[in-house]
């Protein structure tokens, strides 16, 4: 009976989020900027990137930034800087995307910025640059958003923000929308995130649903225009594979979908990852991508990820691997040894989901904890040698928690509360 109810719920949620849209319905843009999204750069202590959208009659746009002030008159002194603007034409959608990278910022400093043109300005958003290695770090992680974005995920991102408004970054493990080529789904994402996207820098990694099956399995045409992510990854996967160093942690995004589809992009990411892990001055490392190294469902194994990337995670003792795709929850470290035929060198593997699409939960030998049919978000803090991980349900209840303790020259120690 329970399974029947769940199957019905899944079908219902799928129907809510997918059917009714058989074509690309524009989410109309106006002269005022919308979809204002802040992204990390390679070094968010001194630079941050912002991207926004307008209707296609606004072909140039301006970005302004200044140190935050409570004196409204002080904003008159902000310097206007011309954005990079690109016409975006796709199916029946015609808009402009604009972007600007704020550079030469001071670490750990509160700024305010706005974007737009005369009579069509955004609000002044307050943002804070990253601090230095050793400063306490916090970040939010979301598994697949993908379905029920407006209806059921809006509350999840708000709940995460309410618990951690000081987050240095928000990470997305792909399948951020269900159909990457559909404008209205991206519109729902920006509806749900609203000012949170404009004030906490995003680390976005693409999933298979950001690849348009009807358009030759290419990365969504929206991805690169509407995000401005570090271009320090390999050719062919720029702004999907990249790294960003924040307060002593190296965050690395891999493009697992293209690693599956294009052998050259698998090889280039492998070599690049080896290099960025070898030359990593940070104490901590977190890698994010879509297709899990260890899966939840038996028929969803991703051997190209495990065989090619796990040896590097082991070699360089990566601390945390954040993944999605399986629409249930699992994490594991201590049971991986022996249970899978693969040794583990202290890396914690996490799979989660945050939107409304749910697959069957499963129990496998590698998992220390598992669950399903629960919308979740994760809040992580790093303070000195301790990483504290907490997973919360959409209703704000603690669902899972552990700590990783860094031990010089040895595997991380796992402490489960
Ligand atoms: Fe997926
Ligand atoms: Fe998914």
Q: How far, in Å, CA of 369 to CA of 313, rounded?
A: 21
| pTM score | 0.94
Residues 275-325: tens digit of each pLDDT: 999 999 999 999 999 999 999 988 889 999 999 999 999 999 999 999 999
Distance 292 CA to ligand 1 centre (A): 10
Residues 34-81: tens digit of each pLDDT: 999 999 999 999 999 999 999 999 999 999 999 999 999 999 999 899
Q: How far, in Å, CA of 399 to CA of 379, rounded?
A: 11
Structural domains of the chain sorted by starting position, each given as residue range(s) with its CATH number in brackets: 34-128 (2.60.40.380), 137-416 (3.60.21.10)
Distance 207 CA to ligand 2 centre (A): 7
Q: Which of 193, 247, 44 lies closest to 128, judged by CA?
A: 44
The residues whose Cβ lies within 5 A of ligand 2, an ion, are: 144, 146, 175
pLDDT surpasses 60 at 9: no
Ligand with an atom nearest the CA of residue 290: 1
User: Which 3-state string (H, E, C) describes 292-344?
Assistant: CCCCCCCCCCCHHHHHHHHHHHHHCCCCEEEECCCCCEEEECCCHHHHCCCCC
Ligand with an atom nearest the CA of residue 291: 1
Confidence class of residue 386 from pLDDT cuts 50, 70 and 90? very high
Residues 321-342: tens digit of each pLDDT: 999 999 999 999 988 887 777 7
Distance 144 CA to ligand 2 centre (A): 5
Average pLDDT over residues 98-118: 98
Ligand with an atom nearest the CA of residue 257: 1
More confident residue, 148 or 216: 148
Confidence class of residue 4 from pLDDT cuts 50, 70 and 90? very low
Considering the chain, what is the average pLDDT of its residues?
A: 93
* Torsion angle defined by CA atoms of residues 172, 173, 175 and 176, in that order, rounded to the nearest 10 degrees: 0
Distance 153 CA to ligand 2 centre (A): 14
Confidence class of residue 215 from pLDDT cuts 50, 70 and 90? low
Residue 396's pLDDT is what? Answer: 96
Distance 131 CA to ligand 1 centre (A): 33
Residues 353-379: tens digit of each pLDDT: 999 999 988 999 999 999 999 999 999
Ligand with an atom nearest the CA of residue 358: 2
pLDDT surpasses 80 at 11: no
């Amino acid at each position: 009976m329970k399974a029947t109810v769940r199957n019905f719920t899944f079908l219902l949620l799928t129907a809510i989020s997918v059917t009714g849209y058989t074509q690309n319905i524009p989410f109309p843009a106006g002269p005022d900027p919308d979809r204002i999204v802040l992204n990390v750069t390679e070094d968010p202590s001194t630079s941050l990137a912002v991207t926004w959208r307008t209707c296609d009659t606004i072909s140039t746009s301006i970005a302004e930034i200044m140190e935050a002030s409570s004196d409204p008159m002080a904003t008159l002194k902000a310097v206007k800087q011309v954005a990079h603007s690109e016409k975006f034409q796709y199916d029946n959608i015609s808009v402009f995307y604009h972007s600007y990278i704020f550079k030469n910022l001071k670490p750990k400093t509160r700024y305010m910025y706005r974007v737009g043109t005369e009579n069509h300005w955004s609000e002044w958003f307050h943002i804070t640059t990253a601090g230095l290695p050793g400063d306490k770090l916090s970040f939010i992680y979301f598994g697949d958003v993908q379905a029920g974005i407006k209806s059921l995920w809006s509350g999840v991102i708000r709940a995460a923000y309410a618990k951690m408004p000081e987050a240095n970054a928000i990470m997305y493990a792909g399948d951020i929308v269900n159909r990457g080529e559909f404008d209205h789904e991206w519109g729902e994402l920006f509806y749900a995130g609203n000012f949170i996207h404009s004030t906490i820098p995003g680390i976005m990694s693409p999933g298979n649903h950001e690849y348009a099956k009807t358009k030759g399995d290419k990365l969504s045409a929206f991805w690169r225009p509407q995000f401005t992510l570090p271009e320090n990854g390999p050719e062919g996967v720029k702004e999907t594979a990249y790294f960003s160093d924040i307060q002593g942690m190296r965050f690395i995004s891999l493009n697992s979908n293209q690693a599956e589809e294009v052998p050259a992009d698998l090889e280039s990411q492998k070599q690049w990852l080896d290099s960025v892990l070898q030359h990593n001055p940070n104490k901590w490392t977190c890698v994010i991508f879509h297709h899990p190294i260890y899966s939840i469902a038996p028929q969803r194994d991703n051997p190209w990820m495990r065989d090619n990337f796990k040896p590097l995670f082991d070699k360089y003792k990566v601390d945390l691997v954040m993944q999605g795709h399986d629409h249930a929850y699992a994490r594991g470290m201590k049971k991986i040894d022996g249970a899978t035929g693969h040794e583990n060198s202290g890396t914690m593997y996490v799979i989660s989901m945050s939107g409304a699409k749910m697959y069957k939960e499963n129990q496998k030998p590698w998992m220390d904890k598992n669950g399903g049919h629960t919308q979740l978000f994760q809040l992580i803090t790093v303070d000195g040698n301790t990483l504290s991980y907490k997973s919360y349900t959409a209703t704000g209840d603690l669902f899972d928690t552990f700590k990783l303790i860094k031990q010089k020259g040895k595997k991380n120690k796992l402490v489960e509360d």
